[in-house]
Amino acid sequence: MDIILLILSFILMIVGIIGSINPTFPGPLTSWSGLFIFSNISSVKVNSNLLIITLIITLIIFILEYIIPIFSSRKFIGSKLGMIGAIIGAIIGLLIDTYGIFFGPFIGAFFGELILNKSLDKSLKSTAELFLGLITLGFSKVLLSIIFLVIYINLFLNNFGNLFGSSA
């Protein structure tokens, strides 16, 4: 059973990194799940504080993934209509496609700004600023998933002897 948990935890670590780039999977949350499953292997010793701290960080990033498009639009987009457009775009995007959560806020904010009779240039500028905020978040997700992989590898090496019955 332990070997199955070990393999599953490693797969989740890799899927987490992929999910940080591709919005099909929640990247850091999937990576954290790999850490959690690894910690439940009978012969592995993992500090519970490590799991709690990494879970808190993961949940913050997970929540920010859905809140940043809305608050970025509020900060960078000059109108409430642009912000409402970003919110509607995010909701519709979430229902349509896995990439919809990424493109929905941009399209919604853009059209919200256009409806308000702003210029095309101003609408594009607001949308570009929103894009920069999401790119920053995406980079943070990839970085966090890679950090979780490094933690996983470190835990694996520290528990190698426990896992395979030899002294490492």
Comparing CA positions, the residue from 46, 63, 7, 80 lying closest to residue 159 is 46
**Within 10 Å of residue 27's Cβ, how many Cβ atoms?**
28
Phi, psi for residue 130 in degrees, rounded to 5: -65, -40
Give Cα 124 distance to the centre of its chain. 25
- 59: tokens are 């949940």
pLDDT at 143: 93
Model pLDDT for residues 37-81, shown as the tens digit of each residue:
999 998 899 999 999 999 999 999 888 877 766 666 556 555 677
Q: Is 109:130 a contact under the CB 8 Å cutoff? A: yes
165: left (phi over 0), alpha (psi -120 to 50) or beta: left
Lowest mean pLDDT among 40-49, 107-116, 150-159: 107-116
pTM of the predicted model, to two decimals? 0.72
pLDDT at 33: 96
Structure-token match 């504080």, residue found: 49
What rounded mean pLDDT belongs to the chain? 84
Asked whether the predicted pLDDT for residue 19 surpasses 90, the reply is no
pLDDT at 168: 46
- 145: tokens are 């998933």
Please give the Cα distance from 153 to 83 (Å, whole number).
42
